[in-house]
Amino acid sequence: MKEKTVAELKQMMDEGVDFQLIDVREEHEFDMANLNGELIPLGNLIIEAEKIRKDVPVIVHCRSGSRSAAAINELEKRFGYENLYNLKGGIMAYSREIDPSLTVS
């Protein structure tokens, strides 16, 4: 599985790279802290898969990287995505390494 580090994500954001950020956590987690990605909870992923682009890199994240890895495996298997990247360490790593003001539980 392809991965991006939080430093790579921050660089992409800073440079204005065209990519899509998908957050597969639950709504209450998203409401507490988010990276301004598009919320598609893991349970809704298959029915909302058409929202996920195939023409740009797509970084998928969750709290720690486990749910997003499961999401990527399912999307690649069912829909043939080849442009998905798991955010290594999830939003917890982003909070720890990039933005300590994010409150992630």
CATH number of the domain encompassing residue 10: 3.40.250.10
**pLDDT of 21:** 98
pLDDT of residue 105: 72
Assigned domain for 57 exists: yes
User: Which residue out of 24, 40, 62, 72 is catalytically annotated?
Assistant: 62
- Cα dist from 40 to 23, 57, 72, 73, 98, whole Å: 6, 17, 13, 15, 23
Does residue 102 sit within a domain? no
- pLDDT for 103 equals 87
Is residue 8 part of the annotated active site? The answer reads no
Task: State how far the Cα of 39 lies from the Cα of 97, in Å rounded to an integer.
Answer: 22
Which residues span the domain enclosing 45? 3-97
- Number of structural domains, the chain? 1
- Contact at 8 Å (CB) between 85 and 19? no
Per-residue pLDDT of the chain (105 residues; tens, 9 = 90+): 999 999 999 999 999 999 999 999 999 999 999 999 999 999 999 999 999 999 999 999 999 999 999 999 999 999 999 999 999 999 999 999 999 999 887
